[in-house]
Amino acid sequence: MTTLKDLLKQPWGQAHATPLTGLDTALANLLNSKQPSDDPRHLWLAALTSHQWGRGHACLDLATLQTQAAALLGWNDEQTSTLPADLHQAANTLPWTQGDASPLVLTEDTQGARLYLRRAWTAEQNIRQNIAQRLALPCDVPADLQQRLDALFTPTNNGEPDMQRLACEVAAQNRITLITGGPGTGKTTTVVKLLSLLVGTSSRDLQIHLAAPTGKAAARLTESISNALTQMPADVQARIPTQAQTLHRLLQTNSKATQLHQLATDVVVVDEASMIDLEMMARLLQAVPPTARLILLGDKDQLASVEAGAVMSQLCTGSLLQHQTVTLVHSHRFDAKSGIGQWARTVNADVADNTPALKALWNAAPDWLATLPLQQTIEGDAAEPDVTRLQLTSASDPKLAVGLRYGWRNWLALLDAHRPSKTTQTAPCSDAQAAALLKAFTEFCVLCAVREGPLGVVQLNAHVELALGLGQSAWYAGRPVMVTRNDYALELMNGDIGLCLPGPDGVLRVAFPAVDGGVRWVMPSRLDSVETVFAMTVHKSQGSEFTHVLLVIPALESPVLTRELVYTGLTRARQRLTVWAPQLGVLWNGCARRVLRSGGLGD
């Protein structure tokens, strides 16, 4: 029996170097062993469908495979040349798409044909059906809705529509609403006003749940809701919760879960919805009763989920929820003069070529290291640039160490008392001190596009440890760590960040932020899946914000460097942004590269 491994061999016996993984070829060969096919193109189609799923696509887009195979698959010309001719046409004769339980599913609509793994197709169908069910159900709308909105929103003086008010109006009349917008556009403020509207028109206390995909995003949502509620009347504050949780905790999904329970809830608000993958969105919609309101907040222009799917982006741009989607456009954080806002708008601009505008912004930004003495003397001055640039060629350049020590200067000052030295003993760290250290650590962050390479996360973490005079042992006072795998026993989620510090008894432990604003102490020996996190990938930073971000662009071209990644990285900065680009052409090319994931939710 012919296998895909055989098909990948040239006549002289050397295997083609394609990006197909062992899992991709194993799936194709397994299907062929169960139901043999005499058309070699069928094995290719099965392997490519698996390949696209692994790359974050919900399906294999057969129309694009025919016309732009290299762009679709992310392959070079040599790799693409290994594909058989008329590959897309073989989908109609696939033996593995027949029947209700077939492993592959072939669909066709006005946008063309798509080939799915059944799990992906099932998730997409469940999302469609659940949304359709919610849209079909009548929704109780207060008769005095406009008057209540008038009380919540003051009229705008510029004659432009108040998009926050419109978002509340839409959400009050629908069981599912998408509210999208960039940083500082008031998504959380809008939701708090919406919740006050809903609790004010309800004759009973509403069951309200707040959630986000990661622990960091949940903590940020908790803080944002709490701050926004201070502007509301006391009786409203008492009826709206402030504590957000991760989606995993909300849905009670873990390795032992066999059945998804349905929530007892009236309103569910989920922040950072762009991070929700296809299967998680299907589970969320299944868990939230159709009679409840579901409000999804996010930025459709950010990076899509790490797992397969681009649900938020496709729903925001498709027809399925076009009347239930509101885009907030006015940023209250980055005004017209804000350098960060200008970079965000320029990177995201839907134009044929935004390189000239990006070059102008780059040239207008001062060199970061040259501004450091100025910052030390007039800290917080209005004239201080919010965007600076860096063009060092190597992370080992001693000039970089100066900048890193300055970026974490407040954190290092607090940490100093808890580090051993020749003259002083290590001082124990109280809960309050640990919380202050955790907060100070987020004043600065190094964000990378890639993990490996000279300017990747792994090497930069080593350079930062050296620059800060840390890292003499595996566990040391001040070591920041990120959890890389969900640990339900410790109630730590993938992406949670903690600091290794001498605890109240002087013993080294890792302090993680607690839900009540305090800290939780965990012994290092109990942490099996953590990594040092002075530097992290932009993907890992989603759901977080930092006072000052050093965004590191690799010196070599990388397919992961895209417009969405650059936009997501620079908008993690609240006040200051430094762009480090050793080779400017790599930055321009990255901003011109888009992430376009295949899927059917955008129809």
* Residue 185 marked ligand-binding: yes
Integer CA distances (angstroms), 252 to 213, 259, 285, 512, in order: 13, 10, 14, 21
Sign for the CA dihedral angle at 424, 429, 433, 439 comes to: positive
CA atoms within 13 A on the CB side of 121: 20
Task: Confirm if 392 and 550 have CB atoms less than 8 A apart.
Answer: no
Sign for the CA dihedral angle at 535, 536, 537, 541 comes to: negative
Helix, strand and coil content of the chain, in percent to the nearest 5, comes to 40, 15, 40
State the virtual CA torsion across 84, 88, 89, 94 in degrees, nearest 10: 90
Strands 573-580 and 387-390: parallel
* Residue 503 marked ligand-binding: no
269 contacts: CB under 8 Å, gap ≥ 6: 191, 195, 208, 209, 210, 211, 221, 295, 297
* Residue 456 marked ligand-binding: no
User: Distance (Å, rounded) from C-alpha 458 to C-alpha 237?
Assistant: 45
* Residue 230 marked ligand-binding: no
* Residue 300 marked ligand-binding: no
Query: Count of CB atoms within 10 A of residue 336's CB?
Result: 8
For residue 157, what are its two tokens?
Answer: 């003086």
Sheet with 573-580: strands ordered across: 387-390, 573-580, 546-552, 444-448, 535-537
User: Distance (Å, rounded) from C-alpha 596 to C-alpha 36?
Assistant: 33
* Residue 186 marked ligand-binding: yes
* Residue 189 marked ligand-binding: no
* Residue 242 marked ligand-binding: no
Query: Count of CB atoms within 10 A of residue 182's CB?
Result: 23
User: Distance (Å, rounded) from C-alpha 225 to C-alpha 271?
Assistant: 11
Helix (H) or strand (E) holding 210: strand 208-212
Residue 14's SS3 state is coil
The residue among 470, 409, 463, 464 whose CA lies nearest residue 440 is 409
Q: What is the DSSP string of 470-522?
A: --SSSS-TT-EEEE-S-BTTTTB-TT-EEEEEE-TTS-EEEEEE-TTSSEEEE
21 contacts: CB under 8 Å, gap ≥ 6: 50, 51, 54
Which residue numbers belong to the known binding site? 181-188
Which residue numbers belong to the known binding site for ATP? 181-188
